[in-house]
Structure 1
Amino acid sequence: MQNVKDGSTAHAKANIQTSAAAEHLPSNQFSPATVQRRIKSGAANCDRLSQTKSMVLTDSNPIKLPISRHRRNHSQHNLSDITGMVDQSCLQPLEKNGFLNKAKITEGGKKLRKNWTSSWVCLEGDKIEFYKESKQQTLASSKIGYKPENADLCGAQIDWAKDKSSRKNVLQLTTISGNEFLLHSDDDSIHDWYQAIRYAIDKLSKKGVSTAAHSIWKSSSSEEVNRCEGGSNSKPNPKEAKSEHRKSLILRLNHGSSDTSEKKRVKSRLKKFISRRPSLKTLQEKGLIKDRVFGCHLATLCKIEGTTVPNFVKLCIEAVEKRGLDADGIYRVSGNLATIQKLRFVVDHEEKLNLDDSQWEDIHVVTGALKMFFRELPEPLFPFGFFDQFVDAIKNQDYSQRVQCVARLVKKLPKPNHDTLRVLITHLQKIIAKALVNLMSSQSLGIVFGPTLMWPERETSNMAVNMMYQNQIIDLILSEHAEIFNP
């Protein structure tokens, strides 16, 4: 205990002596950076725990540690300096996202089949990412390590695609790696996407930052770092591998030249084929091309078949009279449209047609096909030049004169039109004869066949009025059938 007290006392005295010595020093000899050290007391050697040493450094300049020049660590130390030189505004993410229609048409210079898909597109900094759903939902439902498809905007090009798609508002994004994307939107938001992507590309390409930063971050060699820093003594290595930008540029140039040669080859083949192709008459004689029934002009069809009434009209009328006179709402009830289209295809592409086949057992399919035949005539059964004359005739207030006018106009119709109308009206008379069963009167048939057999060459604003006259004309012809066709 006595030794401890002596040590403490000696230590205190040493501090007092040091302070006194400092007061007697001149002001120019005492600086804040002076290292002050407590004087050790010999009496305190018995206990080393009581010995203390303090270093007080008041210099505000930090001590610079030597930087290792090892090859592996060289780029690590200089990376912060290089990124400091890069314009930080172009490295900030430009966040824009939303649903767009995306189609990848080229990958690495190789053409792909265009397949449009709806994708959640995220524009973030120097790239665009494509997700199936929104980014949060996709990442939440995907496995760990999921990487979405992306497009690098460094050195990319964005422009409106005019000849790559028939859709409107389509953007074409081409990357330096040879990938091409088509972006489409049905609304005007595609213009906002164009501005955002264009702004991102321009910021990245400003002052060559995109290419320099891309090569710096891809490289780990000190020579690449020194070259990007702009050293005047650095010399390019002739054996150095081509950069990604140079490779992609060569790839795109080769792809463009091959694409042009392919187009020329296709054009030459088409020219040879067109110059050597046979005439339409030759193809018809060989049976390679068969004239269609639906959509063919009535006079032309009758001339080909050698008759004044088309064979298809005769077949339909025979089928209806055989098993459809008692059908409720015959000609008014619509048949299955898919089956009617199938029947139309058979009529246009096959020589023989059997309406008694089980697939045409629904009589409303047959009547629907017959009405479609008349509706698809290039010129209706009542030619365009007769439309206004029939309308003026039906407006006549005197009934007997009205019938006579209509009879004279019917007699003036071309031979195929006149004979086809007479056969059809005779058939419809049999429908009216069983009106108590099928519930189809002359007025009902007039409403059905009025717009089917006649219409004006040019639609006018009084369409409803014309339709009323059309119905009345057919109703009158049905009612006065004997007087009109056998005066």
Structure 2
Amino acid sequence: LVKSMQRAASSDNLSTMAFGSADGQCHNSATSHDVKQQLSHSKSMILPENGKVYTVHSCNYTWKLRKNWSPSWVVLVGNSLVFFKDPKSQTLSSWKPGNSRPESSVDLRGAQLHWANELSSKKNVFKLRTVTGNEFLLQSETDSLIKEWYKTIQSVIDRLRENPLDNVLLYSLRRVGSMEMLDHSGDEDDRRTSLPRSASNLENTERKRVKTRLKKLILKRPPLQALQEKGLIKDQVFGCSLEMLCERERSTVPRFVRLCTEAVERRGLDTDGIYRVSGNLAVIQKLRFLVNHEEKLNLDESEWEDIHVITGALKLFFRELPEPLVPYGFFTDIMETVKISDYMDKVDRLKCLVLSMPPPNHDTLLFMCRHLKRVLEHSGTNRMTTQNIGIVFGPTLMRPERDNGNMAVNMVYQNQAVELILSEFDHIFGTRGPS
């Protein structure tokens, strides 16, 4: 904005309008003629000043406006609207722009102007919004004066919009004011590129330039493997696909699943409502963060004393799998299997489905069901029956790929599927062991 004001001030083609006074006195045409003479060195034109003009402005896309309107000298200089602090010791006839230091200036390229009486209890209010997001309210008690200002500022904005050169400057101003762009130090060929003749050509040129620099940036970016070797990027556990996680850990059962179940079996089998009672969500999220960012994890530390935090984190791990433990392709078949009326036929078909799952899914399901069988052995104290386990783990271990509107019905069959697997554990997992 400073550069814009300096360019305008040095221009030989200035169109200047001043309005506003501290004391609100009216001035006749003779006074206006005196001011015109005093500003003649800059080839300025002064409109008659007939009343107070107030301004209030906000910046950075907010509406935290000043509580009180403040009188200002406002001067239209070339493409800029310049605000001067109200010189209460001066009269309009003795005031010159050269004798005052501007408070701020507004570049009108790309600006928007509209009446905004609803934003203030005062009358004759209009709002000016710049291309960079700054907003100004201007007001005068004199209808004719504020209308003349509105008309004049709008005509300047319209003229700048039609000028291709000003469109180029507007584009640059928008980039500086509202975007974080790449380094402008580019190649020499880019620097020699002449200004396009239209805004559309300019947009295409800038788009190509940005694409070129982004391509160079991507090519210079180190590969993921190099960042992982340097420890700058750590592989995630939560939210990682089961296949990738097991391949990375060289196991068919994730390490985190083993740690959690071992902790539960050491000190949580007799806990009332184990897996049913929710743990502290904030502590669960803390544990999740540590699992994703630290290799060593000791669940026997005092901060993980609440066993419900560990069980909550384990359930969260299964819910955040991109594809559930029971793969999407098996969901419909398992739901149809559970509906079979013949019990043995139902168990045999479920066994075939489980045995055909990928090794990480099959072995992790086997591991979890074996663990849940141990939980059921303590149902007399923890009050977790087969039905309760099914309710908790049905929607946790399996879900449809797309919601077809039968969520409540599906949930019933999901629960029954888990109950059936636990009840017929030995038969379903009898002919295939962990890989």
TM tier relative to shorter chain: 0.5 to 0.7
Amino acid across the alignment from 1:407: K
Q: In 2 relative to 1, CA 305–155 (structure 1 residues): closer, same or farther, beyond 3 Å? A: closer
Residue 330 (1) aligns with residue 299 (2): no
1:104 aligned partner: 59
Residue 384 (1) aligns with residue 331 (2): no
Residue 158 (1) aligns with residue 75 (2): no
Conserved? CA contact 1:450–1:474, under 8 Å: yes
Residue 181 (1) aligns with residue 181 (2): no
Shift of 1:403: 1.0
Shift of 1:483: 1.5
**CA-to-partner distance for each residue in 1:48-83, whole Å, 9 max, x for gaps?**
xxxxxxxxxxxxxxxxxxxxxxxxxxxx99922369
Q: 2:402 aligns with which of 446, 458, 461?
A: 458
Distance in 1, matches of 2:381 and 2:300, equals 23
Conserved? CA contact 1:126–1:154, under 8 Å: no
Residue 438 (1) aligns with residue 382 (2): yes
Conserved? CA contact 2:284–2:309, under 8 Å: yes
Conserved? CA contact 1:382–1:417, under 8 Å: yes
Work out which of the two has the higher radius of gyration on C-alpha atoms and give 1 or 2.
Answer: 1
Distance in 1, matches of 2:423 and 2:144, equals 77
Q: In 2 relative to 1, CA 430–201 (structure 1 residues): closer, same or farther, beyond 3 Å? A: farther
Question: Comparing both chains, which one has the higher relative contact order based on Cα–Cα distances under 8 Å and sequence gaps of 6 or more?
Answer: 2
Distance in 2, matches of 1:257 and 1:375, equals 44
Conserved? CA contact 1:155–1:201, under 8 Å: no
Q: In 2 relative to 1, CA 391–122 (structure 1 residues): closer, same or farther, beyond 3 Å? A: farther
Amino acid across the alignment from 1:335: G
Conserved? CA contact 1:293–1:301, under 8 Å: yes
Residue 265 (1) aligns with residue 265 (2): no
Q: In 2 relative to 1, CA 80–295 (structure 1 residues): closer, same or farther, beyond 3 Å? A: same
Distance in 1, matches of 2:151 and 2:135, equals 28
Amino acid across the alignment from 1:265: D
Q: How many residues align?
A: 311
Shift of 1:311: 0.4
Conserved? CA contact 1:125–1:200, under 8 Å: no
Distance in 2, matches of 1:120 and 1:351, equals 53
Distance in 2, matches of 1:159 and 1:423, equals 68
Task: Kindly report which structure 2 residues correspond to 1:243-262, keeping only aligned pairs within 5 A, or say none.
Answer: 256=173, 259=176
Q: In 2 relative to 1, CA 87–124 (structure 1 residues): closer, same or farther, beyond 3 Å? A: same
Residue 81 (1) aligns with residue 29 (2): yes
Distance in 1, matches of 2:321 and 2:379, equals 29
SS at match of 2:134: strand
Shift of 1:181: 2.1
Conserved? CA contact 2:236–2:293, under 8 Å: yes
Query: Percentage identity across aligned positions?
Result: 47
Distance in 2, matches of 1:152 and 1:413, equals 69
Q: 1:480 aligns with which of 420, 424, 427?
A: 424
1:402 aligned partner: 346
Amino acid across the alignment from 1:484: I
Conserved? CA contact 1:204–1:210, under 8 Å: no
Q: In 2 relative to 1, CA 173–81 (structure 1 residues): closer, same or farther, beyond 3 Å? A: closer
SS at match of 1:79: coil
Shift of 1:285: 2.9
Unmatched segments (≥5 aa) in structure 2: 1-23, 33-46, 74-102, 115-125, 156-165, 187-212
Amino acid across the alignment from 1:467: M
1:348 aligned partner: 292
Residue 320 (1) aligns with residue 261 (2): no
Distance in 1, matches of 2:430 and 2:398, equals 22
Shift of 1:402: 1.1
Q: In 2 relative to 1, CA 257–154 (structure 1 residues): closer, same or farther, beyond 3 Å? A: closer
SS at match of 1:326: coil
Distance in 1, matches of 2:105 and 2:144, equals 11
Shift of 1:442: 0.7
Conserved? CA contact 2:239–2:322, under 8 Å: yes
2:8 aligned partner: none
Conserved? CA contact 2:49–2:145, under 8 Å: no
SS at match of 1:377: coil
Task: Kindly report which structure 2 residues correspond to 1:35-184, keeping only aligned pairs within 5 A, or say none.
Answer: 79-81=27-29, 86=48, 104-105=59-60, 116=62, 118-119=64-65, 157-158=111-112, 173-174=128-129, 181=134
Q: 1:304 aligns with which of 248, 269, 277?
A: 248
Q: In 2 relative to 1, CA 120–433 (structure 1 residues): closer, same or farther, beyond 3 Å? A: farther
Q: 2:225 aligns with which of 273, 281, 294?
A: 281
Shift of 1:464: 0.7
Shift of 1:174: 4.5
Amino acid across the alignment from 2:378: K
Amino acid across the alignment from 1:358: S
**CA-to-partner distance for each residue in 1:434-467, whole Å, 9 max, x for gaps?**
1111111010010000110000111111111111
Q: 1:467 aligns with which of 397, 405, 411?
A: 411
Distance in 2, matches of 1:343 and 1:307, equals 22
Unmatched segments (≥5 aa) in structure 1: 1-75, 106-113, 128-149, 161-170, 184-192, 212-248
The two structures have a TM-score, normalised by structure 1, of 0.54
1:419 aligned partner: 363
Amino acid across the alignment from 2:279: G
Q: In 2 relative to 1, CA 264–365 (structure 1 residues): closer, same or farther, beyond 3 Å? A: closer
SS at match of 1:343: helix
Conserved? CA contact 1:154–1:204, under 8 Å: no
Q: In 2 relative to 1, CA 117–414 (structure 1 residues): closer, same or farther, beyond 3 Å? A: same
Shift of 1:267: 8.3
**CA-to-partner distance for each residue in 1:328-363, whole Å, 9 max, x for gaps?**
111011111111111111111111111111111111
Distance in 2, matches of 1:359 and 1:256, equals 53
Distance in 1, matches of 2:386 and 2:145, equals 73
Shift of 1:478: 1.1
**CA-to-partner distance for each residue in 1:14-65, whole Å, 9 max, x for gaps?**
xxxxxxxxxxxxxxxxxxxxxxxxxxxxxxxxxxxxxxxxxxxxxxxxxxxx
Distance in 1, matches of 2:28 and 2:107, equals 20
2:121 aligned partner: none
